Copies of this chain bind each other. A is one copy, B any other.
Amino acid sequence: MGAPKQKWTAEEEAALKAGVRKHGTGKWRTILSDPEFSAILHSRSNVDLKDKWRNINVTAIWGSRQKAKLALKKTSLTPKLDGRTPVIPKHDGRTPVTPKQDGRTQMTPKHDDNTIALSTAPQNDEVVDAKPLAISSGTMQASGSKEPVARLDKLILEAISNLKEPNGSDRASIASYIEVLPLVCKDRYFYFADTINELIKVQSACNALYHGDFLISLLLQKIYSLLPLF
């Protein structure tokens, strides 16, 4: 009787996504204060936003895993690196070794010591040969973890495979799948918005090649080129 449980409406969810797109994740209060969204989200708290965003991502991850049954296309660029040391975003026994830097200057995104270092780096789109590296993987955290979060490249492949349609998938479908990225890349300030924009661009440009290996290659290239940005 106390809490009726307010279900999120499509409008609210859209506003949330737009808000994240505009201000970034973790800026719940900011989003809520933005007059552009405050009207729609007036009955939500910053915590609600955070929780909802989490649910959205969790769902996305699971969705992709569920459909993972589909055999991946044997593409020429099938990543073959396995047994890679998973990156673990969690910090367990962090010993007090690092004094916190006080001069809180710019938020220079710093890599964690245990993140993968992508040496490729440049956001140059001219990358021709998609040579997937072990992007991050990172386990879903010990407890109850069945499997490590799918590798980024696998997720992409999975998405492409599953979305495969006679005449190609539409933008929304792709985006739906790609939404999984923020989760995979979180902790690195890899913003969802940028990814989506970029991917959609790629898609538009290669609409004809849709689910051929070539497109996959392009997508992967794109993803990889974006990763070093954080």
Contact = CB atoms under 8 A, between A and B. Distances in A.
Contacts of A95: 29, 45-46
Interface stretch (A56-64, A124-132, A142-150, A167-175): A142-150
Contacts of A110: 2
Interface string A96-127: 11111111100111101000000000000000
Contact of A7 (B5, B48, B94, B107): B94
A143 B145 contact: yes
Contact of A98 (B7, B45, B102): B45
Given A6-B96, A143-B144, 14 more contacts: A2-B100, A2-B107, A4-B91, A5-B91, A32-B96, A43-B97, A45-B94, A46-B93, A46-B94, A47-B92, A48-B94, A143-B145, A143-B148, A144-B145
